[in-house]
Amino acid sequence: MIFDTLNSSRCIIFTIEMKSTKISCKDCTFKSQAVELLNEEDLGLMDENCAEVSCQPGEHIIKEGTLSSHIAYLKSGLAKIHMTGPSGQDQILKIVTSGSYIGIQTILTDKIHRYSASALKECDVCFIDIDLFKALIKRNSEFAFELILYLCTDELNYFERFVNLSQKQVNGRLADAILHFTEIENNHITFTLPLSRNDLAALIGARRESVARAMKEFTDTGLIKVEGKQVTILNDTLLHRISRNG
């Protein structure tokens, strides 16, 4: 069984719960645009070589340094992509939402995951056998083209994030992060911050103390209200201005 393979390759580090009922790939309403282009035969092959699991907050979806035997597709939930740096500190590279592929970068370049992915909220994840994934890329040009579009968009977004981290001050980076989480929550002005203060600092490339000072400045000036992990935006216009100006 593919689930046994997942365990033996140590892709899942924590105990995870297999869903009691698995919807077939053909009938799934959470398919990616690439999978939407597969014919009935290919969808059947994917269904035979795919396992759906639920990950709780804090659990690894994939772990840096483990065998990359499967591609993970985030059907629902929220996760962080993170990597251990040369100093041993954990750096958050980005936040991913439903509809994201995880581990696809290693499909042709390496057999070992170069980064980790951990659930921030409860996640439903499909693990697809990597050999099947490669076969579908080779035999279905439309499937491959959609994956290329996905990777290109993802890389351009990362370029923009890298420039912002390099050139914006802490206040600008914090404003970016807050606005990003409102987008994830369908632009609701009140949302629950899914990160600890340490993780928030790792996300925006700042020290925890610097983030704490910036958050206090935002609350003192009436930009936001913070109650525990709940954040409410009070001045959206000014927050966007800080984000633009950096």
pTM, to two decimals: 0.84
C-alpha 109/C-alpha 90 separation (Å) is: 23
Does the pLDDT of residue 153 top 70, yes or no? yes
- pLDDT of amino acid 22: 63
Give which of 97, 59, 58, 103 is closest to 76, Cα–Cα.
97
3-state secondary structure of 29: coil
Q: Which residue has the tokens 């899914």?
A: 194
Fold of domain 2-163: Jelly Rolls (2.60.120)
Long-range contacts of 153-158 (CB under 8 A, 24+ apart): 157/94, 158/93, 158/94
Does the pLDDT of residue 211 top 80, yes or no? yes
CATH entry, 168-245, from 1.10.10.10, 3.20.20.70, 1.10.3720.10, 1.20.120.80: 1.10.10.10
**Given pLDDT bands bounded at 50, 70 and 90, which one contains residue 13?**
very low
114 DSSP β-pair partners: none
Over the Cα atoms of the chain, what is R_g? 19
Domain ranges of the chain: 2-163, 168-245
70 DSSP β-pair partners: 129
Across the range 50-68, mean pLDDT stands at 93
The token pair at 21 is 């009922």
pLDDT, tens digit, 9 for 90 and up, residues 65-120: 998 899 999 999 999 999 998 988 889 999 999 999 999 888 777 788 999 999 99
Across the range 128-149, mean pLDDT stands at 93
Residue 39 contacts by C-beta under 8 Å, 6 or more apart in sequence? 140
What is the residue-averaged pLDDT of the chain? Answer: 87
The token pair at 179 is 């606005």
Q: Which residue has the tokens 């206090």?
A: 216
| Alpha helices in 57-196, H assignment, sequence order | 130-139, 141-167, 170-184
CB-CB neighbours of 105 under 10 Å? 17
